[in-house]
Amino acid sequence: MTIKKYRDKYQTSKKSLIQENTDLKIENQVIKRQLLSIRNLIDDILTEDILEEYQTKQEEKTKKLKTKQIKSELKENETQEKEQNKEGQNE
C-alpha cells in the first residue's frame, strides 16, 4: 500500500472513531439525565413517605393530647361537682 492509501484509511478510521465517540457522549448525557430523573423520583417518593409518616405521628400525638385534655377536664368537673355536693350537704 502506498502512503496515500494508509493516510486515507487512517482518516476514515479517525472519522469513524470521532463519530462513535460523539455518539457515546450523547448517549452518556441521555443516561445521566435519565438517572437524575430516577434519583429525583426516588427522592420524592421517600420524602413523601417520610412526610406521611411524620404527619401520622403528629396526628396521633394530637389525638393523645386531646384525650388527655378531655380526661383532665372530666376529672376537674367531677372534682367541682363533688365539692358542690359537699357544700350542698353542709348547708
**Residue spans per domain, the chain:** 3-45+53-88
Please identify every stretch of the chain with a pLDDT value under 50, giving residue numbers as ranges.
Answer: none
Quick one: pLDDT at residue 25?
A: 98
> Element (H or E) spanning 2, and its range?
none
Global confidence as pTM: 0.52
Q: Retrieve residue 26's grid coordinates.
A: 450523547
Quick one: pLDDT at residue 49?
A: 84
Q: How far apart are CA 27 and CA 30, in angstroms?
A: 5
Quick one: pLDDT at residue 1?
A: 67
The greatest distance separating any two alpha carbons of the chain, rounded to the nearest whole angstrom, comes to 132
